[in-house]
Amino acid sequence: MTDTSFTSEAALKRLKKRRGKEWRFRIWGRAAIGFALAALAWLLISIVGTGYTAFQQNFMTLEFELSESVLAPDGTRDPEKLRGANYRRIVQTTMYELFPEVTDRKAKQELFGLTSASGATNKLRQMVYNNPELIGQTINVTVPASDQIDQLLKGYIKRDTDESRRKVSDQQIAWADTLKERGVIKKKFNRILFMNPDSRDPELAGIASAVIGSVMILVVAFVLAFPIGVGAAIYLDEFAPKNKFTDFIEININNLAAVPSIVFGLLGLAVFLNFMGMPRSIPLVGGMVLALRVFPTITIATRSALQGVSPSIVDGALSLGASHTQAVFQQKLPLAGPGILTGSIIGMAQALGETAPLLMIGMVAFVTEVPNSITEPATALPVQIFLWSDSAERAWAERTSAAIIVLLVVLITMNGFAIWLRNRLEQRR
Amino acid sequence: MTETIKTKFTCRDVRVHYGDFEALHGIDIDIPDRGVTAFIGPSGCGKSTFLRTFNRMNDTIDGCRVSGKILMDGEDIYDKNLDPVLLRAQVGMVFQKPNPFPKSIYDNVAYGPRIHGMTSSRAELDNLVEKSLRRAGLWDEVKDRLKLSGTGLSGGQQQRLVIARAIAVDPEVILMDEPASALDPIATAKLEALIDELKERYCIIIVTHSMAQAARVSDKTAFFYMGDLIEFDNTDKIFTNPGNNRTQDYITGRTG
């Protein structure tokens, strides 16, 4: 016999059990969310912690005497000839003059190592090439300090480690400190990181070519994947006959979205490079490969957006004598628009983060020039991160994290834009 | 009196299948050209399915098949050479849930005329929109906000907007599928008054769950049960002196 009264002892016991179940579920939910937030916070703190210092860098403002006897002993002002002049000698002279008391050859070499050798010579070469009239003058130029000095002054190279175990000598530390006091070395905003392409020297390496490459890849991927993805979705949803064959296609598109991206890279390597003979490392091929990667995502998002539109709207249009195509394109598609755009932006954000397929088609190349078109070699932001993370020197770790921060900011911006766009378009209904 | 009105739809042995399921088992009925014909019957009896055969909206449902003959003014509307798009321009439809397009009130009414290219100038279109809204009894309520979204109107206004949208295409027939089921009593009363006015110009077929509504608005009533047409007669006869026991049971509330 069961007691059905709500206040009986058995009923209260059941109630307590039910409440307990709910309470445990809430605790689990909070624990799960707490865990997710902690993981996110950990990721952000560790990346921002190592990366934020890279947005500033130590530069030296030095006086260079561009003496004619060194650069143009034959008196030439031909820019092409001046390219090959001995700028290293100019930089050396300037560096030695900072501490005239140094005479020992090895010590002189260490002194020269305070500045970024190729940074300074390249800069002088470029300036003279642009304006040969500078020869014979003495000019003030700001050049990056060497990566070791930069790391030392940022505190990453510990002064209390044994001299034999660090790349900066005690003498160099003393010079760097003196120069800092004299105001020769100053920390400034790191334009190099954003304006330069990749380089062998960490203090000269930047993400410019990777960012431009990524933008080109995304544009190509979007231009290809958006019309194909949306078109396929509209056709499958609205016009295709419902039979075994279209079911099969549907399953395959859903599977395609879950295929590991490296497989698309191999496909691109086999089809675009080997079969069609397109060049390696170019954004055009990268974009084509990522278009394959993203189009199933766009198709799936579009189909779910189309299915979310109330069928009564299409019925209304049809009942007025609109053709099926008119009903779909004039009434249904505009309503599905926000969902389609959101899905596409999230798809593009995925594409921005893709690394593996780009490695397969050779976008992992060391590119020291900013690409001007989609058929010039380039690299992409995530690939650049991969490349830098592989390098040993301390300065690369900092730059890797800085590049990751830039990538994350772009991703957050894209996803935020998707949410904003959806809310805005939905309000207009 | 009914004998003087000519017949709009002649239906002979109309059967509708959804896959293997037969939803209507051979309906014979003649729908008069003017006035309101009401379809009543319990849920699932096939009355909405039957209504949707008149503008071939069943064509849009996968696996739905219609057999038998439906003649409109003597012409077979299921003829292979007849484009349902043209049929639907002549047979308008109002649905259970108001479904204005999420566009301005003006664009809602203008949509039909635009796709059929009925007007040649903006002024002509303006006139047609106004005329349609007036006929639907909505003009005075919306004339100052034609640019605002149709979905911002109340339920009753939306339903009248949908009627205006259907009228704008200048149809001969208006099908109504439980048009008042989502409306409150005041909006329902307005809608019924509108139906009363429209029946002078159009052939109206209305599906309703409310027997009181059928009694109020219709001239003829057809009672459907389990996919069969049980009885079809003048409305006052059906409600005062039905010829069939099942009709009697349904209208007095014993079944359905």
pLDDT reported for residue A3: 53
pLDDT surpassing 60 at residue A237: yes
Residues A180 and A248 in one domain: no
Share of chain B above pLDDT 90, in %: 61
| Predicted local distance difference test score (pLDDT) of residue A233 | 94
A299 shares a domain with A416: yes
Same domain, A137 and A231: no
Residue A46 C-alpha from the chain's centroid = 17
Q: Report ipTM (2 d.p.).
A: 0.89
- Name the residue among A321, A331, A429 with its Cβ closest to that of B88: A321
**Per-window interface: A 94-133 vs B, CB < 8 A:** none
Share of chain A above pLDDT 70, in %: 98
What local confidence, expressed as pLDDT, does residue B43 receive?
Answer: 87
Chain A contact probe: residue of B52, B109, B115 with most A CBs at under 10 A: B115
Interface contacts A/B by beta carbons within 8 Å:
64
Residues of chain A positioned with their CB less than 8 A from the CB of B86? 321
Whether residue A285 is contained in a domain is answered as: yes
* Residue A428 pLDDT: 61
Q: Classify each residue of A54-79 as buried b or exposed e, where b means 16 or more C-beta atoms within 10 Å of its C-beta.
A: beebbbbebebebbeebbbeeeeeee
Q: Please, what sign has the CA dihedral across residues A306, A307, A309, A310?
A: positive
Average pLDDT score over residue span B13-24: 92
Q: What are B9's two structure tokens?
A: 């739809």
Residues in B touching A242 (Cβ below 8 Å): 62
Q: What pLDDT is recorded for position B255?
A: 63
Q: Give B233 to chain A, closest Cα distance, Å.
A: 28
- What's the pLDDT tens digit per position in A110-145? 999 999 989 999 999 999 999 888 888 899 999 999
What is the β-pairing status of strands B75-76 and B64-72? antiparallel
Cβ atoms B89, B97 nearer than 8 A: no
**B55 vs A319: CB contact, 8 Å cut-off?**
yes
Average pLDDT, chain A: 90
Q: Which residues of B touch A310 (CB under 8 A)?
A: 99
Task: Return d(Cα A214, Cα B118) in angstroms, integer.
Answer: 50
Confidence of residue B141 (pLDDT cuts 50, 70, 90): very high
User: What percent of chain A is modeled with pLDDT above 90?
Assistant: 63
Same domain (yes/no): A229, A102: no
User: What are the residue ranges spanned by the domains of chain B?
Assistant: 2-78+85-251
Mean pLDDT check: name the lowest of A74-78, A88-92, A249-253, B208-212: A74-78
> What is residue A364's predicted lDDT score, i.e. its pLDDT?
82
Domain annotation covers residue A74: yes
Q: Which residues contact A104 (CB under 8 A, 6 or more apart)?
A: none
Identity at B171, one-letter amino acid code: P
Statement: residue A427 has pLDDT above 80: no
Q: Choose among A213, A166, A136: nearest CA to A403.
A: A213
CA distance B48 to chain A (A): 14
Q: Write down the pLDDT at residue B1.
A: 43
| Among the partner residues A242, A326, A331, nearest to B101 by beta-carbon distance | A331
How many helices, marked H, and strands, marked E, lie in chain B? Answer: 10, 10
Q: Tell me what pLDDT residue A329 has.
A: 93
Asked if the structure places residue A196 within a domain, the reply is no
Tell me: do A257 and A167 sit in the same domain: no
Which 8-state DSSP code applies to residue A137?
-
Average pLDDT for A176-193: 92
Range of the domain at A62: 53-189
For residue A34, tell me if it sits in a domain: no
Contacting A with CB below 8 Å, chain B residues are 55, 57, 60, 62, 85-89, 92-93, 95, 97, 99-102, 111-112, 115-116, 149, 151, 162, 165-166, 169
**Contacts (Cβ under 8 Å, ≥6 apart) of A184:** A60, A61, A62, A98
Per-residue pLDDT band at B2 (split at 50, 70, 90): very low
Q: What is the pLDDT of residues B84-124, one digit of tens each?
A: 888 999 999 999 999 999 899 999 999 999 999 988 899 99
Burial of B54 (0-12, 13-18, 19+ CB in 10 A): buried
Chain B residues lying within 8 Å of A323, measured CB to CB: 85
Closest CB from A310, A319, A335 relative to B92 = A319
Q: Do residue A343 and residue A268 come from a single domain?
A: yes
- Chain A CB contacts of B62 under 8 Å are 242
Shortest alpha-carbon distance between residue A319 and chain B (Å): 6
Which amino acid type is present at position A323?
A: S
What's the CATH number where A245 sits?
1.10.3720.10
- Average pLDDT in the A220-238 region? 94
A230 shares its domain with A161? no
User: Is the same domain home to A332 and A254?
Assistant: yes
Find the closest chain B residue to A310 by CA distance. B99
CA distance A337 to chain B (A): 13
b (16+ CB within 10 A) / e for A308-317: ebeeebbbbb
Quick check: B192 pLDDT over 90?
yes
Please name the amino acid found at residue A47.
I
Distance of alpha carbon B180 from alpha carbon B195, whole angstroms: 11
Give the chain B residue nearest A425 (alpha carbons): B102
- Identify the burial level of A174 via C-beta atoms within 10 angstroms of its C-beta, where 0-12 means exposed, 13-18 middle and 19 or more buried: exposed
A243 and A185 in one domain? Answer: no
Cα separations in angstroms, A275 against A221, A267, A268, A271, B216? 20, 10, 9, 5, 76
* Domain-ending residue, one of A189, A221, A248: A189
Considering the domain delimited by B2-78+85-251, tell me its CATH architecture: 3-Layer(aba) Sandwich (3.40)
Residues of A in contact with B205 (CB under 8 A): none
Same-domain check for residues A106 and A234: no
Total H helices, total E strands in chain A: 19, 3
A367 and A253 inside one domain? yes
Residue A201: inside a domain, yes or no?
A: no
Segment A266-273 mean pLDDT: 93
Is residue B28's pLDDT more than 80?
yes
| A305 shares a domain with A368 | yes
Chain A residues with beta carbon closer than 8 angstroms to that of B19: none
Query: What pLDDT was estimated at residue A327?
Result: 92
Q: How many domains does chain A have?
A: 2
The answer to whether the CB atoms of B111 and A312 lie below 8 A apart is: no
With beta carbons less than 8 A apart as the criterion, state whether A309 and A389 touch: no
